[in-house]
Amino acid sequence: MNQEIRWIKKIKKNSNHEAANQLIAEYYREMYAFVYKQTLDSELSLDLTQEIFIRVLKSIGSFDERKASFRTWLYRLASNRLVDYFRSKNYKYRQLAVSLEGYDVADREDMAVTLEYKDDVEKVTSIINRLDPSSQQIARLKLFGEYTLQEIAEMVQAPLSTVKTRYYAALKLIKKEMKEHRHG
């Protein structure tokens, strides 16, 4: 039995804080990076990552290692939390209140590149947000979690053909709208 499963059993059995801390420490940076790639906001990513791990600890009783690996289960929870966030009023408000604080205006070229990249990520994220929840999860795991389509099929417990169809449909929509965005 691997260390991760031992930690999970200790958490389930007696809410072992040490095991919970070790489990979180094992995955914290990976989850933070997954969230940050989609939000490009360090404070927000810290908050969402913390919320993800709170949700993990609250629902760890429902985790079953026979159905999926812990990592797979964790990404499923994280993807669902991101879907919820991007649907929220808080996200919509933040979109209206975007500020340029923190950018060094002296380095305009880097700032322009950063803003262009951020604009592209925000546009892609807004396109993904309009997809149905299942397609959103698949697109997020592929584009931001860098999973293979086979791994995603196992994570979302769907046939590979369904995952491919949804991913390529999402990709086609993203490419079409990004092209219109750049030329429109």
Report the pLDDT value the prediction gives residue 143, as an integer from 0 to 100.
86
Does pTM top 0.75 for this prediction?
no
Place of tokens 């990513």: 45
Report the pLDDT value the prediction gives residue 102, as an integer from 0 to 100.
45
How far apart are alpha carbons 32 and 64 in whole angstroms?
24
Mean pLDDT by 10 residues, the chain (184 residues): 86 90 94 91 93 94 88 91 79 51 47 63 86 90 88 89 94 88 74
Question: What tokens were used for 127?
Answer: 């396109």
Report the pLDDT value the prediction gives residue 99, as an integer from 0 to 100.
44
How far apart are alpha carbons 66 and 95 in whole angstroms?
41
Report the pLDDT value the prediction gives residue 184, as an integer from 0 to 100.
67
Sketch out the chain's domains with CATH numbers: 1-98 (1.10.1740.10), 102-184 (1.10.10.10)
- 183, 115, 49, 92 alpha-carbon torsion, rounded to 10°: -60
DSSP summary character for residue 1: -
Report the pLDDT value the prediction gives residue 89, as an integer from 0 to 100.
64
| 102: region left, alpha or beta (phi > 0 left; psi from -120 to 50 alpha) | left
Write the single-letter amino acid at 83.
Answer: V
Cβ–Cβ < 8 Å for 10, 70: no
Report the pLDDT value the prediction gives residue 154, as an integer from 0 to 100.
86
Cβ–Cβ < 8 Å for 56, 74: yes
Report the pLDDT value the prediction gives residue 44, as an integer from 0 to 100.
92
Question: What tokens were used for 163?
Answer: 């995952």
Cβ–Cβ < 8 Å for 127, 177: yes
Q: Mind listing the pLDDT tens digit for each residue in 128-138?
A: 989 998 899 99
